[in-house]
């Protein structure tokens, strides 16, 4: 489905691979260069219609739907091109752990945003689209914080994306993380069940906090090792709230090393500096998922990078533990 001429009214038959996609998400991808605010305004005014009827942004595409688009004036400014220098190409290609016809998995480096926005011209997904133009479709299945490293799953077909999103909704996709927290995490603290909600933090930024009025949030923990009054944990988020692992650790009194959002104790910040912590010590270790109804689950593992391993060494964690974390 392609827009031929934005200067006049168009009627487009939506292809079957878009079935069950939200209308607003379809429009954002279809009308490049049109701000989201204008898309929602056109929907509110009824200038964008489905089957000649007004619809809401969350309308789910159905078989045979016909999309009506009004004349649209796009921003004539050319979008900034994605920097695809050879160094970036080599880095991104090295990050690919596994690639199949319909999906691929990256070991995302810390400090890389998965999407452009918030002052960034592009993220990993935009860079990959620019590097591999032969892929007609590429979307994130899930997200990782910019500061978090590790397993990141992307779909190369819309049907695959829909199936994987269904797994996420039904909690059939299983993620495990590694993190290093300040303090001696109690063996008995194997689970934190604390609702979370978004609030406005310092400088107007949005952060999470534990709240009885928040969304149910459950995280499971297992102690792997302790050293220098720090603990290495294996973590399994049962729900998938924003910053869930980070705020659950901090609210229990064991903030993650290098967490600039939720680490408030000046003494612990000084300790981070002492041990050369220059990143968030949170790594998405593994992801288990299915690619269709009939296939068994696949588990993909991402080894920790040098920056994570160096902090473990500085904190004098056993070498056997570090080597285990570095295994794929």
- Is 242 among the domain residues? yes
For residues 276-298, give the mean pLDDT: 93
Is the CA virtual torsion 281, 282, 284, 285 positive or negative? positive
248 and 179 in a common domain: yes
- Looking at residue 116, its pLDDT comes to 65
| Active-site residue set | 145
322 and 202 in a common domain: yes
- Looking at residue 77, its pLDDT comes to 41
Looking up residue 36, the CATH number of its domain turns out to be 3.10.290.10
Question: Radius of gyration of the chain from Cα atoms?
Answer: 22
Give the lowest-confidence range in 28-37, 82-91, 252-261, 275-284.
82-91
Q: Containing domain of residue 63, as a range? A: 10-69
Give the lowest-confidence range in 196-210, 235-249, 285-299, 301-315.
196-210
To the nearest whole number, what is the mean pLDDT of the chain?
88
- Looking at residue 309, its pLDDT comes to 96
What is the CA 26 to chain-centroid distance, rounded?
Answer: 19
- Looking at residue 87, its pLDDT comes to 67
148 and 32 in a common domain: no
Domain stops at, among 138, 160, 182: 160
Give the lowest-confidence range in 37-46, 79-88, 151-160.
79-88
297 and 176 in a common domain: yes
52 and 185 in a common domain: no
- Looking at residue 31, its pLDDT comes to 83
For residues 102-113, give the mean pLDDT: 92
**Euclidean distance between CA atoms 150 and 78, whole angstroms:** 33
Domain stops at, among 117, 132, 160: 160
- Looking at residue 15, its pLDDT comes to 85
- Is 104 among the domain residues? yes
- Is 77 among the domain residues? no
317 and 221 in a common domain: yes
Tens digit of pLDDT for each residue in 234-249? Answer: 999 999 999 999 999 9
302 and 187 in a common domain: yes
Q: In Å, how far are 55, 199, 274 from 252, measured between CA atoms? A: 45, 19, 23
- Is 3 among the domain residues? no
Tokens of 71: 């004349």
- Looking at residue 36, its pLDDT comes to 82
Tens digit of pLDDT for each residue in 194-208? Answer: 999 998 876 677 889
- Give the SS3 label for residue 111: coil
Instruction: Report how many domains make up the chain.
Output: 3
Counting residues of the chain whose pLDDT is more than 70, the rounded percentage is 91
Q: Check whether 170 has a pLDDT greater than 80.
A: yes
More confident residue, 326 or 328: 326
Q: How many C-beta atoms surround the C-beta of residue 89 within 10 A?
A: 14
- Looking at residue 154, its pLDDT comes to 95
Q: Check whether 101 has a pLDDT greater than 50.
A: yes
Q: Check whether 117 has a pLDDT greater than 60.
A: no
Counting residues of the chain whose pLDDT is more than 90, the rounded percentage is 63
Angle between helices 23-30 and 36-45 (to 10 degrees): 130
291 and 203 in a common domain: yes
Looking up residue 235, the CATH number of its domain turns out to be 3.30.2350.10
For residues 285-293, give the mean pLDDT: 93
278 and 234 in a common domain: yes
- Looking at residue 78, its pLDDT comes to 42
For residues 84-105, give the mean pLDDT: 81
- Is 103 among the domain residues? yes
- Looking at residue 76, its pLDDT comes to 43
Give the lowest-confidence range in 58-72, 171-185, 202-216, 263-277.
202-216
**Euclidean distance between CA atoms 58 and 23, whole angstroms:** 6
């Amino acid at each position: 489905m392609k827009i031929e001429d934005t200067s006049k009214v168009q009627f487009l038959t939506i292809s079957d691979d878009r079935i069950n996609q939200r209308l607003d998400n379809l429009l954002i991808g279809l009308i490049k260069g049109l701000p989201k605010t204008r898309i929602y305004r056109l929907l509110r005014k009824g200038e964008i219609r489905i089957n000649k009827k007004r619809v809401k942004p969350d309308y789910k595409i159905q078989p045979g739907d016909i999309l009506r688009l009004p004349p649209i004036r796009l921003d004539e400014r050319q979008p900034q091109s994605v920097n695809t220098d050879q160094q970036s190409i080599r880095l991104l290609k090295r990050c690919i752990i596994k690639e199949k016809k319909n999906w691929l998995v990256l070991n995302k480096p810390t400090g890389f945003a998965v999407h452009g926005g918030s002052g960034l011209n592009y993220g990993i997904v935009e860079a990959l689209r620019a590097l591999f133009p032969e892929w007609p479709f590429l979307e994130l299945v899930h997200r990782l914080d910019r500061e978090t490293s590790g397993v990141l799953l992307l779909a190369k077909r819309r049907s695959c994306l829909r199936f994987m999103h269904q797994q996420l909704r039904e909690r059939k996709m299983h993620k495990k993380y590694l993190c290093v927290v300040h303090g001696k995490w109690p063996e008995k603290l194997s689970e934190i069940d604390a609702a979370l909600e978004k609030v406005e933090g310092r400088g107007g930024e949005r952060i999470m906090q534990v709240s009885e009025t928040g969304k149910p949030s459950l995280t499971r923990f297992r102690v792997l090792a302790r050293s220098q009054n720090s603990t290495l944990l294996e973590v399994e988020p049962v729900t998938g709230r924003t910053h869930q692992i980070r705020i659950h650790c901090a609210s229990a009194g064991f903030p993650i090393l290098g967490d600039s959002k939720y680490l408030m104790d000046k003494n612990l910040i000084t300790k981070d500096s002492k041990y050369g912590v220059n990143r968030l010590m949170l790594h998405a270790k593994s992801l288990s998922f299915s690619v269709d109804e009939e296939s068994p689950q696949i588990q993909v593992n991402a080894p920790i990078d040098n920056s994570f391993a160096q902090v473990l060494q500085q904190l004098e964690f056993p070498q056997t533990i570090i080597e285990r974390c570095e295994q794929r």
